[in-house]
Amino acid sequence: MTILPISSTNQKTDLLALSLPQLQQWLVERGEAAFRAKQLYQWLYKRLVTDFAAMHTLPPTLRQQLAAEATIGPMIVRSEQHSKDDRTRKILLELVDGKLIESVLMLYPALGESSARATVCVSSQAGCAFGCTFCATGQMGFARHLSAGEIVAQVLHFARELQAASWRAAGLPGSDPIDHITNIVLMGMGEPLHNYDNVLQALRILNSPDGFNLGARHMTVSTVGLVPAIRKLSQEHLQVNLAISLHAPTDALRSQTMPVNRKYPISELIAACQDYIAVTGRLTRTSLAICSPRSNSLRMSTASPSMPLRQATIRPVPMPYEHSVPFYVSMA
């Protein structure tokens, strides 16, 4: 499938939606040498520049043409909230068509043998089509898929923030500052595997050694359990992590809050995850939203090795990771 960059009303091309080969083609079609694409990629993803006029290694005529025909992630930050300890920063972004999405930066100090981390929680859609009852985005309904460039732009926004002012954990003398993004999780608004092509395009752009160069194993794709897409992802030869939004240990309970379970029940989901593990050698993660004493009891039951679900998911490799997902108030 051909992935087209979303354009603004004046038909400018969003360069963040283009892979390096696509950017080379775009430049050649305009009479420029293909090698200029790598130079441009360096400005976009290494130096994180947003002004074409500042790209001084490019010829003035090319800089002028870029300003006339291209954009760099055209979004407007409508609001930004920081937690009291500044370890969490949430932004509300307005897209070119007025749609609103959220993105979150989560900062973790080095603890023990773990190094400091800066993780961006990325949105993949405006709204969501899957209607999970515990999810604010699911109650909005589906508006549209995000382009690859709109996904990439969320990561670069926070990368520029850290580049401009590195973060150091308050109250931890001697802690190392962090000035770059170390991880991304596609756990924001939308179902990433519903927007499969644009999500994969964005991951490959961010993974490109000529660009942002974020390791695939530092990327996590979350899904409500779209079985065909999980199987397709296993064939991509991209070593990303897969997280399953499980939220219940039985079909009866899961179908109450996650309508997708009626189409892809837990047994089919488990089989797809086992195949994913077998093909990729990567562990899957399961997540549970803890929103009431009832769901707390569900968490305890899924953590028990005596449950059929847990028994099924431990084969053919050790137990997958499980984590609980806290709620926060949406700004969208």
Residues 119 and 247 in one domain: yes
Total domains present in the chain? 2
**What CATH number is given to the structural domain containing 45?**
1.10.150.530
Last residue of a domain, one of 32, 51, 71: 71
- The answer on 197 and 103 residing in a single domain is yes
Residues 132 and 228 both lie in one domain:
yes
Pair (179, 288) in one structural domain: yes
Per-residue 3-state assignment (H helix, E strand, C coil) for the chain: CCCCCCECCCCCEEHHHCCHHHHHHHHHCCCCCCCHHHHHHHHHHHCCCCCHHHCCCCCHHHHHHHHHHEECCCCEEEEEEECCCCCEEEEEEECCCCCEEEEEEEEECCECCECCEEEEECCCEEECCCCCCCCHHHHHCEEEECCHHHHHHHHHHHHHHHHHCCECCCCCCCCCCECCCCEEEECCCCCHHHHHHHHHHHHHHHHCCCCCCCCHHHEEEEECCCHHHHHHHCCCCCCCEEEEECCCCCHHHHHHHCHHHHCCCHHHHHHHHHHHHHHHCCCEEEEEECCCHHHHHHHHHHCCCCCHHHHHHCCCCCCCEEEEECCCCCCC
Rounded Cα distance, 93 and 67, in Å: 22
Q: Is 130 inside a domain boundary? A: yes
Domain-embedded: residue 168: yes
Amino acid letter, 4: L
Question: Same domain for 233 and 176?
Answer: yes
CA distance 55 to 69: 16
Domain range spanning residue 140?
A: 76-325
pLDDT at 117: 94
Would you say residue 4 lies in a domain? no
331 in a domain, yes or no? Answer: no
- Residues 234-256 have a mean pLDDT of 93
Residue entry with tokens 């390096």: 20
Within-domain flag for 5: no
Do 32 and 178 sit in the same domain of this protein? no
The answer to the question of residue 220 being in a domain is yes
| Same domain (yes/no): 313, 167 | yes
pLDDT at 38: 98
Tens digit of each residue's pLDDT (9 = 90 or more) over 111-133: 888 889 999 999 999 999 999 99
Flag whether 223 is in a domain: yes
Lowest mean pLDDT across 21-25, 255-259, 286-290? 286-290
Q: What is the pLDDT of residues 43-75, one digit of tens each?
A: 999 999 999 999 999 999 999 999 999 999 999
Among 71, 99, 115, where does a domain finish?
A: 71
Average pLDDT over residues 203-224: 97
CA 331/CA 189 separation, integer angstroms:
11
92 and 206 belong to one structural domain: yes
The mean pLDDT of 81-103, rounded to a whole number, is 95
C-alpha distances (whole Å) from 314 to each of 2, 278, 287, 307 are 38, 12, 15, 11
Answer whether residue 249 is part of any domain: yes
96 and 57 co-located in one domain: no
Same domain, 33 and 58: yes
Q: Are 109 and 64 in a shared domain?
A: no
Q: Are residues 36 and 159 in the same domain?
A: no
* Residue 170, domain CATH: 3.20.20.70
